């Protein structure tokens, strides 16, 4: 079993920056390489959950939604236990609850890198509010 805990959300003005962190912890008997990839999603009130960025935990490859490309950067620590989302030039439309997600590579569910149903584990979320 994998637990994900997000941190780093807050309130900023448009043009500002925030860095989100997602710490992954595993039960004693979890398999090695048990999550791949990891991703950040966001959900604004009244809207569907939207994939923002993805990182392959084994390859380090990254993928971004068009709406954040060039402004957001996803990265991971060397141990693969923490994933970060550096968000620059934030806009009011970036306001949302941000969720960390991870996929069990043994899972049969796959709807695409930025689709929520592809992921098995979710954090509780951290709020990001951008004011104009």
pLDDT band at residue 121 under the 50/70/90 scheme = very high
Q: Are 32 and 99 in contact (CB under 8 A)?
A: no
Q: How many other CB atoms are found less than 10 A from the CB of residue 57?
A: 20
pLDDT above 80: residue 6: yes
d(CA 89, CA 14): 7
Task: Report cis status (omega within 30 of 0) of the bond before 30.
Answer: no
pLDDT above 70: residue 33: no
pLDDT band at residue 30 under the 50/70/90 scheme = low
Q: For residue range 43-56, what is the model confidence (pLDDT) as tens digits? A: 999 999 999 999 99
């Amino acid at each position: 079993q994998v637990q994900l805990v997000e941190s780093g959300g807050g309130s900023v003005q448009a043009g500002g920056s925030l860095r989100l962190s997602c710490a992954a912890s595993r039960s004693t008997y979890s398999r090695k390489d048990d999550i791949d990839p990891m991703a950040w999603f966001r959900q604004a009130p009244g809207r569907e959950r939207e994939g923002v960025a993805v990182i392959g935990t084994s390859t380090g490859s990254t993928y971004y939604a068009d709406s954040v490309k060039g402004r957001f950067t996803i990265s991971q620590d060397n141990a693969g236990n923490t994933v970060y989302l550096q968000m620059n030039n934030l806009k009011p439309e970036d306001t949302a609850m941000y969720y960390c997600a991870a996929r069990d590579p043994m899972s049969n569910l796959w709807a695409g890198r930025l689709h929520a149903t592809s992921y098995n584990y979710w954090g509780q979320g951290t709020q990001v509010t951008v004011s104009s």
